[in-house]
Structure 1
Amino acid sequence: MLAAIAVSQSATDPLAGLVLGDVPRPEPRPGWSTVRVVSSSLNMHDLWTLRGVGHPPERLPMILGCDAAGYDEDGNEVLVYPVIADPDAGQGDETLDPGRALLSEQHNGAFAEFLSVPTRNLIPKPACLTFDEAACLPVAWGTAYRMLFTQAQITAGDRVLVQGAGGGVASAAIKLAVAAGAVVYTTSRSADKRAQALSWGARAAVPTGERLPERVDAVIETVGEATWSHSLKSLRPGGTVVVAGATSGMNPPADLGRIFYLQQRVLGSTGCTRGELVALLRLLDATGVRPAIDRTLPLDEIHQGFQLMIDGRLAGKLVIHPSGPQQSGTSR
């Protein structure tokens, strides 16, 4: 089968380590299921792997791809929960399992025609979602859901700042927070991305670092150093910053005086549980909210997709069809 494989890593030329090649189809194993992948989607995690961030080189070669939707061995339409972990190791929260692994970290990922995962990781795909839409959800939308509803515990009427409107998690957080009845503010250097955020229901979208009309109850932070100071200054006393990434740098100034004097809370968040992903699917079914898809590409054009991500030219998710352009990405 055809697959997109990371064979080497480079901080300056990440795509040099990405190759397309024929690999054997996964062998059946007890407790695991094989999925014929209809749709997958790109995530920054894939790019970090190619850059050598958080992925030891001794784990290469590795098929990339964290998200997948397709058919199980019985022809059922399924969505793949991407965290392979022991749900009991984290007191019922598999994201707290020290041995957890996202697809493509320790197990081959979804940029291939077939994927093998624990049977527990298969979730029925709702009929209301196309394969393309479903494949956008597990990593980016699952992360945003946990940040908003589990960690920040937002409710209708809360004021929420989402930093970096162009990112996959950020765009999901904007749409989900609006759907939950929150007042959403967001930032971006790009006028086009600010306009898009307004079309999704954000009350205001301002240039990065610009003062907001009011202080917020919660900040969704995935940018890091470039926005950290603005996040804390935008937060009300007693408010919460939820951090699930730092694309601009991992070491912002702590500003501990502001944090303790204003009793602000800083919470980390990683991925989502299987239960949270199921809850997200129910929310989308109830509200009609859907992920924004910038474009779809066949697997043999995946290098082009990664370059668009590197250049910051995506406005939404980029979906990959591992079996070629004949796959429509819609339910049969």
Structure 2
Amino acid sequence: MKFSIIMPVYNAENYVDKGIMSIVNQTYNNWELIIIDDGSNDNTYNVCKKMIFDPRIRLFRINNSGPSYARNYGLDKSDGDYILFLDSDDYFEINALNILKGEIEKNNSELIFFANYTDKYKNNNYIIEKNNSIKEVVYKNNNDLKNDFINLFQYSYIYPVWNKVYSRKIIDKYNVRFLESIKFAEDLVFNMKIYPHIEKAQIIKEALYHYVSRENESITTSFNINRFEQLNTMYNYCITVIKKWCPKAINLFSNNYILEVSVCMNSLFNKDSILKNKERRTFIKHMVNDKRVRAVIKETTLIGKRNILIGKLIMFHQIDLLYMIAKLSRTSFR
């Protein structure tokens, strides 16, 4: 059994070695690490190049095209029986592959969800702050997975690709690839392409992955002018799958969409935003008038005080209040 670990890297010269060494030091040896430098403009490529002292590591350099393209590139270059994804600032437990191999052999799983640690990187130290573990489950068929989908959704297990191992046969059979037109929630779109086709899956409680939170290096603190359009692209694809595959999750997923709309408003006030106040108001007005947003609010039973408030303000075109809430949320909360 061979594992392919796909690792896109971009401007990660200060910490990429941690993730690479977490694979090199694995207690299970049949693996390949495919590193894709996505057009870094720092010294990342040279740092990675110096670390290719193991023939199981392959390094590729491409023009900057975003994480979806880089991961697809890695998928095309890989030949393992099972696929994992590693972000450049994160790392695996050194026994991760050995544990996954044992679980796959025991249950013949096509997909495994595994727990993760949340680390805080501060003052050159990695500090474990949380073990994001839930109850172990074995799904014997797709219906079992579908029936537990809301539970997985509420624990945020359905979103990322880095807390899963995937059967290559499923990825190839259904030609599953990342949607390259978006740089937001691309993980979720990839996963929603897979979930309806999985017959054997499981959750294991062992935390095998370290998700590292670095100060001032979060997607929530970086401005993306296309975030709202990409959010809609993601929602349109995923809700189509959910309506057909797991309709009981529609309301929960739609509530999450409204929450993300408010996050898009907040992001207009990020530190690196170049927008002027008039432009911010224009963007908020654009979201408020968006037919999709208004239809989702109308058709959804909103959950939580924030969503209920944002939903009402949108439906009543309260641009000024939404502007003030977004500004205050960014300056006081994020």
Q: TM-score range by the shorter chain?
A: under 0.3
- TM-score (norm: length of structure 2): 0.25
Higher strand share: 1
Structure with more relative contact order (C-alpha pairs < 8 Å, separation 6 or more): 1
Higher helix share: 2
- TM-score (norm: length of structure 1): 0.25
